[in-house]
Amino acid sequence: MNLQGCGTALVTPFRADGSIDERALYDLARWQVESGIDWLVACGTTAETPTLDEGEWLEVIRIVADAAGGRVPVWAGCSHNATKLAVARARAAAQIPGVTAILTANPWYNKPTQEGQFQHFRAVAQAVHLPVVLYNIPGRSAANLEPATVLRLIEAASNIEAAKESSGNLVQITELITLVPKEFRVFSGDDGMTLGILGVGGSGLVSVVSNIIPAEMAEMVKAALANEWSVARRLNRKYFRLMQGIFKETSPGPVKAILAMMGRIEEQYRLPMVPVSAATRAFLERMAGELGLLVRSPRVEGDLRVF
């Protein structure tokens, strides 16, 4: 996978009746691309994917791929805690034009052993021809993918080409980057740890905060990868409170709240996700206002196909 930079893990906009807001999703994805984001992630954790049924999940991926229009890569989130269903999702997503990679997370709730995770991820990878990005997010899945298991997976399936690391463990991530082949990509899955991970050899970031500030996060990552650390640190310093603030409550609550303040989506969720508290809302609005995010230009709109 010859890819570096910053990708956005997109939210899924909903309408008041609970349906997917196709127009808002399409426009959000287009705005991301036109702001300089290097790739898009559809149906990751930030997308409230566990609340989507199979038809909606496919629809979200298709809309994002269509909005990208071949201008940037699109990763399709194909995670499930049942291996059979994760494999089925990967096969279905791989057939969608414009999808360039499969992102697949640790099986959640089951708490599989390293051997269980090895067999799970290997099965997903062997089911598709596209590159596969391993997604290690133990805080959500209750299972940590260890570097030694990643090495086994790289040997077992040649299309396992990258990992998104959201363990929050910089020592483990450094070990992974040190051990894997040079061409294997390791991406930060945590906005606030990005510069640390890039500093030890990471290839980029899969960002949540870039839903709100795509141009700025793309610039920060690009600067760090070019060893322009003064620029990268300046941007990190400016937006670090925002990176932390969007996790003041469970994501994607805060990021959706700010996007709604910006007029890009309606602030709608699917249970068990609920709107942020009044205190958090006031904090986010104050912070967004101080950063000048509430006076953004109108949404970038284009032709939306009907799926």
How far is it, in rounded angstroms, from Cα 180 to Cα 183? 8
Among 111, 179, 108, 193, CA closest to 150:
179
Name the pairing type of β-strands 101-105 and 160-165. Answer: unpaired
Q: Which of 26, 84, 111, 164 is catalytic?
A: 164
- According to DSSP, the residues that pair with 7 across neighbouring strands are 39, 206
How far is it, in rounded angstroms, from Cα 261 to Cα 106? 33
- According to DSSP, the residues that pair with 75 across neighbouring strands are 41, 101
| b/e code 141-174 from CB counts within 10 Å (16+ = b) | bebbbbbebbebbbeebeebbbbbbbbeebebbb
Active site residue 238: no
How far is it, in rounded angstroms, from Cα 62 to Cα 220? 29
Q: Which of 135, 222, 256, 269 is catalytic?
A: 135
Active site residue 269: no
Q: Which residues are designated catalytic?
A: 135, 164
